[in-house]
Amino acid sequence: MFENNSRTEINELGEFGLIKKLTENIILKHQSSILGVGDDCAVISAEGSFRKVITTDMLVEGVHFDLSYTPLKHLGYKAVVANLSDIFAMNAIPEQITVSVAMSNRFSVEALEELYEGIYLACDKYNIDLIGGDTSNSKQNLILSITAIGVAHENELVYRNGAKENDLICVTGDLGAAYMGLQILEREKRIFIENPNVQPDIQHYDFIIGKQLKPECANKELAALKLAGIKPTSLIDISDGLASELFHLAEQSGVGVIIYEEKLPIDQQTFDTAIELNLNPPTVAFSGGEDYELLFTIKQDDFEKIKEIKDIHVIGYCTPAAEGMFSYTKSGTKLSLEKQGYKAF
């Protein structure tokens, strides 16, 4: 169909290489366009010193979600959370979303209502207005595209590029749970396909399956930081996995990182399930995606203030860029951090 003489496969570049190639020549023309491609959100001007931040995500059935184990209500909820998480990752407050849905006639009106029930549940939880959208047909799959809009004072916005040498590296909540939940759901799906009479064995995995199917935003932790008078120096949400986000943050800030594996917050159920499936728990914490926790850096001076805050964990610190990206295992072995690719939700 395409008559180009040369053909470059998309996976040769990867998602981030592709975005870079497609957007590297952009020169912003409008004064109102304050930040374009490259952070969790774009930034445009608003009232006085306030800024609107905007993010968008498209989710395709069979690629980003599997309806054989994802209830539509959960899908709607999670899709909103994934977008709001990008708004919080600018240290902004989300206020509006638009929702576009394309679906084939295999979906009924009642099925769509379930999807929207989840969307509205997330809107209620996070105080969001659904202000627009679009519904249309698709040939077969369900496709969801959500755009979220938030607001922040320009002094409150936190970008990916502000980390400095010696800053402490922190994460909220716990890591790897959503990924382990996905592994269990996929395992039970395979078992069900092989033998539809076997009852799914998921009661021991409630926490990790909950993190996979119904994640939440780490907005309480952001509020606690603000209350404690701490403004992160850099901030990103963990949608593609900690290692991938560390690379974004370090590259854009021009720093290196040292991470201590023993400091990684891993829930007991995540840990036990990793062992059960012959996976190394720290690797799961580094490369598992979809936790929607936040990764951020703070000045060393803020350490005394932060250590009292619930659900925030200091996992390492920033080094000069030339020193690279490393982790220390519990036994003290120094490992080079890998850009562990995890295909996110």
Q: Is the dihedral of CA 99, 100, 104, 105 positive or negative?
A: positive
Q: Which one of the spans 59-67, 178-186, 222-230, 290-298 is the region binding a copy of itself (CB under 8 A)?
A: 59-67
* Binding of residue 217 to a copy of itself (CB under 8 A): no
* Binding of residue 20 to a copy of itself (CB under 8 A): no
In whole angstroms, the minimum distance from the beta carbon of 152 to a copy of itself comes to: 12
In whole angstroms, the minimum distance from the beta carbon of 121 to a copy of itself comes to: 13
**Cα distance between residue 262 and residue 271, in whole Å:** 12
Q: Among 236, 281, 238, 241, which Cα is nearest to 262's?
A: 281
Whether 257 and 170 have beta carbons less than 8 Å apart is answered as no
Dihedral pair phi/psi, residue 271, rounded to 5°: -60, -50
In whole angstroms, the minimum distance from the beta carbon of 292 to a copy of itself comes to: 16
Q: Which one of the spans 121-129, 160-168, 189-197, 273-281 is the region binding a copy of itself (CB under 8 A)?
A: 121-129
Whether 238 and 175 have beta carbons less than 8 Å apart is answered as yes
* Binding of residue 310 to a copy of itself (CB under 8 A): no
Say how many C-beta atoms besides its own lie within 10 A of residue 225's C-beta.
25
Residue with the two structure tokens 């040939």: 139
* Binding of residue 202 to a copy of itself (CB under 8 A): no
* Binding of residue 193 to a copy of itself (CB under 8 A): no
Among 56, 252, 283, 340, binds a copy of itself (CB under 8 A): 56
Q: Which is nearer to a copy of itself, 112 or 228 (CB)?
A: 112
In whole angstroms, the minimum distance from the beta carbon of 88 to a copy of itself comes to: 16
Of 89-108, binders to a copy of itself (CB under 8 A) are 95-96, 98, 100-103, 105, 107-108
Q: At what angle do helices 206-213 and 177-194 cross, to 10 degrees?
A: 100
* Binding of residue 238 to a copy of itself (CB under 8 A): no
Q: Which is nearer to a copy of itself, 125 or 299 (CB)?
A: 125
Of 25-44, binders to a copy of itself (CB under 8 A) are 26, 28-30, 32-33, 35-37, 41-42, 44
Structure tokens at 214: 């119904």
Residue with the two structure tokens 């970008």: 159
* Binding of residue 154 to a copy of itself (CB under 8 A): no
- Count of residues that interact with a copy of itself, criterion CB under 8 A: 83
**Cα distance between residue 167 and residue 196, in whole Å:** 53
Q: Which is nearer to a copy of itself, 102 or 314 (CB)?
A: 102
In whole angstroms, the minimum distance from the beta carbon of 61 to a copy of itself comes to: 8
Give the H or E element holding residue 20: helix 10-23
Whether 314 and 170 have beta carbons less than 8 Å apart is answered as yes
Whether 38 and 252 have beta carbons less than 8 Å apart is answered as yes
**Cα distance between residue 289 and residue 283, in whole Å:** 11
Pattern 324-343, a copy of itself, x by CB under 8 A: -------------------x
Q: Among 259, 153, 155, 279, which Cα is nearest to 208's?
A: 279
Q: Which is nearer to a copy of itself, 65 or 247 (CB)?
A: 65
**Cα distance between residue 255 and residue 318, in whole Å:** 6
Among 64, 73, 214, 313, binds a copy of itself (CB under 8 A): 64
In whole angstroms, the minimum distance from the beta carbon of 147 to a copy of itself comes to: 5
* Binding of residue 254 to a copy of itself (CB under 8 A): no
